[in-house]
Amino acid sequence: MGMLKERKKELLLGALLVAIAVVVWQNLAGGGAPVSAGPAPGGPVPRVNLEIAKIYPVDWASMSAPRPTYDPNGRNIFTYGAIPVPTPPPLTPQEKEAIEKARLAAEEERKRQELLAQQAQAAAASQAQAAAQAQANQPPPAPPKPQPPPINYKFIGYVGPSENKIAVLHDGNDLIFVRAGEKIGGQFKILEIGYESIKFGYTDPRFKGETTTLPMSSSY
């Protein structure tokens, strides 16, 4: 209760000061009721005529009423509602006609692309079928051509006169002496004996006309 009285005194004093300030301001601005003439500069401060000052009554009941509690869900000045989307204006007949033409053109292009894709697919299938048919009609490949047997001899020189030379061969174990025209090893025939090489032929008819020339070897 004591605190309430003190607060009423403070409020009354504050209201009085506000009223005095208003009267002083009106007199200095040249309006309102006149006040007593002030002394010369440097003299005492003029007094305010409180008889003409209007003091408004204080509503103590409203000041002593409890303050409303804070509601966090109240109105927020920083929250904005959704901006309404403006309704687009209706289409004009010209715009509707242009849209319909564009739709028809797009539909025609789609059909054309589908037709081209079908034609390309049919052509690819036809080509694949023709290639498979041609592959099936081809005769089987010929067996690989047989290769003549390898010659496992080394020509290390010759003996005798030049018109009737005797070739000296080595088969890895023994020395073999042979003349031109003679057969050796059951698969080869000596065709020619030169000074630095020897020419072999083959007894197998499959290799008729094929020859192999061996150079003279410096070691055996």
Written in H, E and C, the secondary structure of 179-209 is ECCCEECCCEEEEEECCCEEEEEECCHHHCC
Tell me what pLDDT residue 37 has.
Answer: 47
Residue 180 has pLDDT above 60, yes or no: yes
Residue 74 pLDDT level (bands cut at 50, 70, 90): low
Residue corresponding to tokens 């004093």:
13
Q: What is the pTM of this model?
A: 0.39
Exposed/middle/buried for residue 35 (C-beta within 10 Å: 0-12, 13-18, 19+): middle
Tell me what pLDDT residue 35 has.
Answer: 46
Stretch 16-22: mean pLDDT: 77
Contact indicator for 197, 185 with CB cutoff of 8 Å: no
Reported as a single tens digit per residue, the pLDDT across 124-140 is 999 999 898 888 888 88
Residue 71 has pLDDT above 50, yes or no: yes
